[in-house]
């Protein structure tokens, strides 16, 4: 019997390969087995030295049958190597930092001239040969620069990790896989109410609640969810995943009119919420109004139906899931996972339909941000109705295995600082507005456990970054994304970052740049990948989704297979020679004055430079005989056009950067996600002017 009858080999190589690179190559692979080693040998040849991190029986097996030389990492310097012999390293550690250090030492071998990644996946199907799929990344020539070598290795590890974890699974199947791979009784999630759950108790509650509301499955496909980011909020989200229902994550801070608009847009007839939450959030009036047209289900009413029989049935269901997960969960990756609504900061909110594939892809693209360790603890203050809060605050740490603390209100600055100190928080997600507030209230010892702070949703002002660095010695890492991309497109991490940028484009995302008429700085970013949304609610034409390749574009990345359609982000960016992305602004955040395009974000930046301790928001409205007018709102009492004029003249900027009007306000309105509510400011001006 030959190997071919036992397994089918599929090899995917990048085209075209760089044939100019000669000599030995260091190959990094995600896994190795007897069949994998046979496939690798057939592709790379016999002159391959296999390096394993730890001693194992597999070493002797491969050496005897396949005649491949295998050596432990700690004995690599004692081995007499054949000239131009390839090295293949199989790391067994889960620690990204340790692996990087090991690869760095191997790449320093004088025979190594290039580094290449090998992704090996095994596809098991009953009564059929084992299918082995091997993908080779583009071979990269080894750099003599230490920083360039580190960047190359970090990219290779991130890419391998992403593609190794990505499969045709669902959120529930990925959660089950994590539960089965670790101690399910260790605590994993905690919230401000004092509730604390392990993977076991969390999944038991998911099964229990699913049995209570499974009747909805007969009549409803979409259900509105009006809950904060708490343990029960996380449980409800995964209940709907288990039942193959779509949770519509409602923004409880948006007001009654927008709530009704979102419910109408999603054609939702039922809302799941909590009496306790409604009372604490002061939403009784909104719920009373919604009762007239929608069915309201309270969790407290459902809990009264829990009995011993239901608990025992849930336990047996849990055991079945752990034993045979594939018979319980269906892998329908194109199925709706959730519906999120954009903030509507520049217009009406849009309903974004995200599938199982979208969220799983973005989890795999970002999971390198966290270590698979219970030593770290993430503090999430962002709501689940916001894409940043849902992915970074729930899906990412829960599926990765990192402890989470959920707090429902990001504006409770003093309380959040206290939580960071008492809970020994090591990782914090936030928006610039919130991070500024935490820094002002915190003392140095409050953040002594913090080693990882990531900012998103809006551009991070230099003043906030410098303040954190000076006061706490912490570098805030910045990321970028949109609701439509599930949400992360690029992010800086501990191993690869550059000040003032939002990091490198994530693996499996192809991107192009398109010039915008009238704008000289930056080009519009257009992306394509498995994390791109299915579409908008109520739109059959899929606005902003292009089914064919845009013409006249500068292609920047063609190393990944194509996924679906191109998505126009509406954001202006620039990319440096190292691949780091810088956000210039949004196309909608430009005003046209005298035939020239003026950046409203730049005007806000100027105001921040002049009055760094205040908040600012610039808008453009059409008033006074249809003339476009720029208005700056500020919390600075001593503001005035004269100071802006002096700054513009000193820095030799265009006079178009001087706003026509400056309005003092006590506070700048923001959404629950931390973004500025420009629509509310524009409405105030229009109302005042009678337009």
What is the distance between the alpha carbons of residues 578 and 585, in angstroms, rounded to a whole number?
A: 21
Q: Is residue 3 over pLDDT 80? A: no
**Same-domain pairing of 129 and 218:** no
Provide the H-helix boundaries in 324-353: 325-328
**Same-domain pairing of 138 and 54:** yes
Residue 16 lies in a domain: no
Residue 130 lies in a domain: yes
Query: Given 384, 408, 432, which residue is the final one in a domain?
Result: 408
Nearest CA among 226, 211, 220 for reference residue 318: 211
Q: Which helix (H) or strand (E) holds 596?
A: strand 596-599
CB 524 within 8 A of CB 569: yes
- The model carries a pTM of 0.81
What is the distance between the alpha carbons of residues 107 and 429, in angstroms, rounded to a whole number?
A: 34
Structure tokens given for 252: 């409880």
Nearest CA among 649, 640, 656, 559 for reference residue 602: 656
What is the distance between the alpha carbons of residues 116 and 162, in angstroms, rounded to a whole number?
A: 15
- CATH code of residue 603: 3.30.300.30
**Same-domain pairing of 454 and 527:** no
Express as a percent the part of the chain with pLDDT over 70: 69
The pLDDT mean for the chain works out to 78
What integer is the mean pLDDT of 319-345? 75
CB 200 within 8 A of CB 184: yes
What integer is the mean pLDDT of 386-404? 92
Q: Which pLDDT value is given to residue 559?
A: 46
Q: What is the pLDDT of residues 170-184, one digit of tens each?
A: 899 889 988 888 888
Instruction: Dump the DSSP string for 17-67.
Output: --TT--SEEEEEES---HHHHHHHHHHH-S-EEEEESS--HHHHHHHHHT-
What is the distance between the alpha carbons of residues 411 and 437, in angstroms, rounded to a whole number?
A: 8
Measured in residues, the chain has a length of 691
Residue 486 lies in a domain: no
**Same-domain pairing of 360 and 455:** no
Structure tokens given for 115: 């580094």
Tokens 């178009």 — which residue?
A: 656
Residue 227 lies in a domain: yes
What is the distance between the alpha carbons of residues 685 and 666, in angstroms, rounded to a whole number?
A: 16
- Give the gyration radius of the chain's Cα atoms: 27
Q: How many CB atoms lie within 10 A of CB 296?
A: 17
Cis peptide before 543 (omega within 30 of 0): no
Nearest CA among 457, 437, 440, 363 for reference residue 401: 363
Structure tokens given for 76: 């690599």
Domain around 369:
169-408
- CATH code of residue 421: 3.40.50.12820
Nearest CA among 456, 505, 499, 513 for reference residue 159: 505
Long-range contacts of 597-604 (CB under 8 A, 24+ apart): 597/518, 597/519, 598/630, 598/654, 598/656, 598/657, 600/630, 601/459, 602/657, 603/630, 603/632, 603/657, 603/659, 604/632
**Same-domain pairing of 543 and 466:** no
**Same-domain pairing of 212 and 158:** no
Half-sphere exposure of 414 (CA within 13 A, CB side): 0
**Same-domain pairing of 541 and 440:** no
Number of domains in the chain: 5
> 424: burial class by Cβ within 10 Å (0-12, 13-18, 19+)?
middle
Q: Give me the sign of the Cα torsion angle 230, 233, 239, 241.
A: negative
Query: Given 408, 432, 464, which residue is the final one in a domain?
Result: 408
Please give the DSSP secondary-structure letter assigned to residue 13. Answer: -
78 contacts: CB under 8 Å, gap ≥ 6:
none
Q: In the chain, how long is the greatest CA-to-CA distance?
A: 87
Q: Which residue has the higher pLDDT, 516 or 121?
A: 516
**Same-domain pairing of 403 and 513:** no
- CATH code of residue 338: 3.40.50.12780
Residue 192 lies in a domain: yes
- pLDDT band for position 652 (cuts 50, 70, 90): confident
What is the distance between the alpha carbons of residues 404 and 188, in angstroms, rounded to a whole number?
A: 6
Residue 278 lies in a domain: yes
Q: What is the pLDDT of residues 145-171, one digit of tens each?
A: 556 666 667 777 777 777 777 877 889
Tokens 């959730």 — which residue?
A: 338
- Which range has the worst mean pLDDT, 223-232, 291-300, 309-318? 309-318
**Same-domain pairing of 93 and 150:** yes
Q: What is the pLDDT of residues 234-272, one digit of tens each?
A: 999 999 999 889 999 999 888 888 889 889 988 999 999
Query: Given 165, 199, 215, which residue is the final one in a domain?
Result: 165
Q: What is the pLDDT of residues 597-641, one digit of tens each?
A: 788 888 888 888 888 888 888 888 876 666 778 888 888 887 778
Residue 109 lies in a domain: yes
**Same-domain pairing of 360 and 402:** yes
> 367: burial class by Cβ within 10 Å (0-12, 13-18, 19+)?
buried
Structure tokens given for 549: 């390749």
**Same-domain pairing of 440 and 501:** no
- pLDDT band for position 15 (cuts 50, 70, 90): very low
Q: What is the pLDDT of residues 47-87, one digit of tens each?
A: 666 666 555 555 555 555 555 666 655 555 555 555 455 65
**Same-domain pairing of 258 and 371:** yes
Q: Is residue 662 over pLDDT 80? A: yes
Residue 256 lies in a domain: yes
- CATH code of residue 546: 2.30.38.10
- pLDDT band for position 20 (cuts 50, 70, 90): very low
């Amino acid at each position: 019997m030959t190997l071919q009858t036992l397994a089918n080999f599929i090899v995917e190589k990048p085209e075209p390969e760089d044939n100019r690179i000669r000599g030995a190559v260091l190959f990094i692979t995600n896994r190795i087995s007897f069949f994998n080693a046979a496939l690798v040998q057939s592709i790379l040849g016999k002159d391959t030295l296999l390096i394993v991190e730890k001693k194992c029986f597999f070493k002797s097996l491969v050496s005897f049958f396949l005649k491949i030389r295998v050596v432990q990492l700690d004995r690599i310097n004692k081995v007499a190597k054949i000239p131009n012999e390839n090295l293949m390293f199989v790391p067994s550690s889960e620690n990204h930092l340790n692996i990087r250090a090991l690869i760095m030492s191997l790449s320093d071998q004088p025979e190594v001239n290039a580094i290449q990644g090998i992704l090996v996946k095994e596809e098991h199907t009953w009564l059929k040969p084992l299918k082995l799929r091997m993908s080779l990344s583009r071979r990269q020539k080894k750099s003599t620069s230490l920083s360039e070598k580190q960047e190359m290795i970090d990219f290779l590890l991130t890419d391998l990790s992403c593609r190794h974890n990505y499969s045709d699974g669902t959120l529930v199947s990925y959660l089950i896989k994590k539960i089965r791979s670790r101690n399910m009784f260790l605590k994993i999630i905690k919230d401000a109410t004092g509730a604390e759950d392990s993977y076991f108790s969390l999944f038991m509650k998911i099964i229990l609640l699913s049995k209570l509301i499974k009747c909805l499955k007969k009549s409803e496909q979409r259900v509105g969810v009006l809950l904060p980011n708490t343990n029960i909020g996380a449980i409800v989200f995964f209940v709907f995943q288990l039942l193959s229902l779509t949770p519509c994550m409602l923004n409880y801070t948006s007001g009654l009119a927008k709530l009704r608009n979102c419910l109408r847009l999603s054609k939702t007839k039922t809302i799941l919420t909590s009496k306790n939450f409604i009372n604490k959030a002061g939403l009784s009036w909104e719920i009373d109004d919604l009762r007239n047209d929608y069915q309201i289900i309270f969790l407290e009413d459902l809990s009264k139906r829990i009995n011993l029989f239901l608990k025992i049935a849930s336990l047996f269901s849990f055991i079945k899931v752990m034993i045979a997960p594939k018979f319980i969960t269906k892998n329908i990756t194109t199925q709706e996972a959730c519906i999120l609504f954009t903030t509507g900061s520049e217009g009406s909110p849009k309903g974004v339909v995200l599938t199982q594939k979208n969220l799983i892809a973005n989890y795999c693209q970002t999971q390198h941000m966290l270590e698979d360790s219970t030593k770290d603890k993430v503090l999430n203050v962002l709501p689940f109705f916001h894409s940043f809060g849902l992915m970074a605050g729930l899906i990412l740490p829960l599926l990765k295995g990192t402890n989470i603390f959920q707090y429902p209100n990001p504006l409770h600055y003093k309380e959040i600082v206290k939580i960071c100190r008492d809970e020994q928080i090591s990782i914090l997600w936030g928006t610039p507005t919130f991070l500024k507030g935490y820094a002002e209230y915190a003392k140095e010892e409050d953040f002594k456990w913090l080693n990882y702070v990531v900012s998103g949703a809006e551009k991070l002002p230099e003043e906030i970054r410098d303040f954190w660095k000076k006061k706490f010695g912490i570098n805030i890492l910045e990321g970028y994304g949109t609701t439509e991309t599930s949400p992360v497109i690029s992010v800086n991490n501990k191993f690869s970052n550059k000040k003032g940028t939002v990091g490198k484009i994530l693996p499996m995302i192809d991107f192009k740049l398109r010039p915008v008429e009238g704008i000289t700085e930056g080009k519009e970013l257009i992306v394509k990948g498995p994390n791109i949304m299915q579409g908008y609610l109520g739109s059959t034409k899929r606005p902003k989704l292009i089914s064919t390749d845009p013409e006249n574009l500068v292609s920047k990345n063609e190393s990944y297979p194509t996924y679906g359609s191109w998505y126009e982000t509406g954001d202006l960016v620039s990319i440096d020679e190292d691949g780091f992305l810088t956000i210039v602004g949004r196309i909608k955040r430009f005003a046209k004055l005298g035939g020239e395009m003026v950046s409203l974000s730049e005007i806000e930046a100027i105001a921040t430079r002049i009055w760094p301790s205040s908040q600012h928001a610039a808008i453009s409205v059409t008033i006074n005989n249809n003339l476009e007018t720029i208005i700056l709102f500020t919390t600075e009492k001593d503001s005035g056009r004269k100071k802006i004029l002096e700054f513009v003249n000193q820095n030799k900027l265009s006079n178009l950067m001087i706003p026509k009007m400056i309005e003092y306000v006590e506070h700048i309105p923001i959404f629950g996600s931390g973004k500025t509510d420009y629509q509310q400011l524009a409405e105030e001006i229009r109302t005042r002017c009678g337009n």
